[in-house]
Amino acid sequence: MYSKKTGSLHRASSMQRVRQMVSPFGSMRDQAKARIDYHAAELNALSHDLWSCPETAFDEVHAHDLLTSFLESNGFEVERNFILPTGFRATYGFDGGRAVAILAEYDADAQTGHSSGRNLIAECAVGVGLAVKAALESMDPKVQKGKIIILGCPGGGGAGKQQFINAGIFFGVSAALMVSPHCRNILKPIQQALEKVHYKFHGKKADAGMAPWRGKNALDAAVQCYSNIGAMRQHFDPHVRAHGIFTNGGTQANLVPEEAELFFYIRAPSTVELLPAVKQCEDCAIGAASAMQCTVDTEYGSYYSELRTNDHLAMIYKKHCNDLGVKFCKDLSDRKVGLSTDMGNVSFVTPSVHAFFEINTNAEPLTKEFAIAAGAPDAQKATLQQAKALAMTTIDLLQPGGSKLMDHINKEFQRLTPPSEVICQIPMNKPDTSGTVTPPAEVVGYSNGSATPVRGTHHGAQPVVENDLEEVSRALDTNGEGPTGELTPPTGDATPKAGSRENMIAAS
């Protein structure tokens, strides 16, 4: 059904071209790209079906059934209703190698539909799965190793991935990759740490006309809290954001409100910077409640970590994007403000990339105009290009020579992991520790198959060493053909500290 392409080789040195000619991985890449082209119409139809039937977070029933049926019909082992009612895991591959996860989202906004373009995120993830499956099928049976996992993540806007982390799903995953549509190509977007907070004020009901003095006005307490946080902004770090709404202001105008509620997003460039802002806002709520002789309950909801893009992994992905003609805008790492995503949580537990790709629109995400662009035919070319780039990146990691690349990726991951003690201090919903998740025997990056990660507690973010990036570049120039064999866990004292996030995840 599928034939190998015999097109021109990449523009490269003579030696590199020779290496590509004798390497089986050039053929694997050709098989992968050809499979995406072959399924282009079906992928477009899949995306349009999702776009035409938008479903809100954790209610993506149609999307779940559509995507799982398609993947199963194309030879994937599919686990439906995985961890969450609309979650899924689709796997293809062979034991004994690394596993790479491609993350798919497919929920929409209740007012603006697919204004985040998650129909395209899902289409791209499925396309990557088809492509990598074709590449693995074309490998020599003597060296067939590695798995591709398409992880269906419900509630892209509601921290669904954290539930997967709590369940230990990322044990044994060597890398996690995801792309989102945008109005520009951004390799390493700024994704801030975020805490979602509900402040629920409790007062005492009374007749507002006859005897208001007998009541305690919960709405006044909420208004005072809102004003307090507004006044506190001048004392925040300039890059901290706190924005909220009233979700309950009472039920009748002629009654002193007994209940009132505020819902706030508090953001900062990092978890370390987020902690004091969260505490300051909580103090604003407590002070407002005390002034109005009310009480307040502070409930912390979804927590998103800042995204820690793995530079070595991003470099591999960028190379394949460039080969496909995709160019990224200038580095935005000096900017301190941005969006937030639960992909940041994933980047704490496995090396990750979450890039943005342009879909031929000037509209910003979360607008009606962007939703229209996400469903337009013009978005298809960019989406399929991204599927090819992610597929090529995945092949580089899964093929036997990918161990050298993974060594660099994991080395950087250890350096960039923030202090685990800080992560555990954030007021967030703690994972369920009632059971124990045992990682599979072929877990890569873990010691002796134990549930204790080799990746340990590291304080501070150290810069990536330029020499490391150059070495990865040389490895890519030779199709990543380093020494064969499994990834060797990093050396050194990497035992997680008591109460650390690693132990918290290992016990989940």
Residue range 334-348, pLDDT digits in tens: 455 578 999 999 998
Element (H, E) at 422: helix 420-425
Mean per-residue pLDDT, 317-335: 83
- Extract the tokens encoding 324: 């496909």
Q: Residues 52-101: pLDDT tens digits?
A: 999 999 999 999 999 999 999 999 999 999 999 999 999 999 988 899 99
- Bridging pattern class, strands 259-268 and 241-248: antiparallel
Mean per-residue pLDDT, 229-240: 92
d(CA 375, CA 361): 12
Residues 109/366, Cβ–Cβ less than 8 Å = yes
Cβ of 240: how many Cβ atoms within 10 Å? 24
d(CA 50, CA 60): 10
Of the listed ranges 80-94, 230-244, 463-477, the least confidently predicted one is: 463-477
What is the pLDDT at residue 143?
77
What is the pLDDT at residue 415?
81
Coil/strand/helix, residue 79: strand
- Tell me the CA end-to-end span of the chain in Å, nearest whole number: 44
Inform me whether the pLDDT recorded for 207 exceeds 50.
Answer: yes
Q: How many H-runs (helices) and E-runs (strands) does the chain carry?
A: 16, 10
Inform me whether the pLDDT recorded for 449 exceeds 50.
Answer: no
- Rounded to the nearest 10 degrees, what angle do helices 379-398 and 311-323 cross at? 130
What is the pLDDT at residue 363?
94
Comparing 256 with 418, which gets the higher pLDDT?
256
What is the pLDDT at residue 338?
72
- pTM assigned to the model: 0.79
Inform me whether the pLDDT recorded for 492 exceeds 70.
Answer: no
Of the listed ranges 73-87, 213-227, 293-307, 425-439, the least confidently predicted one is: 425-439
What is the pLDDT at residue 407?
92
Inform me whether the pLDDT recorded for 493 exceeds 90.
Answer: no
Inform me whether the pLDDT recorded for 447 exceeds 60.
Answer: no
DSSP single-letter state for residue 216: B
Sign of CA dihedral 127, 129, 130, 134: positive
Inform me whether the pLDDT recorded for 332 exceeds 50.
Answer: yes
What is the pLDDT at residue 461?
37
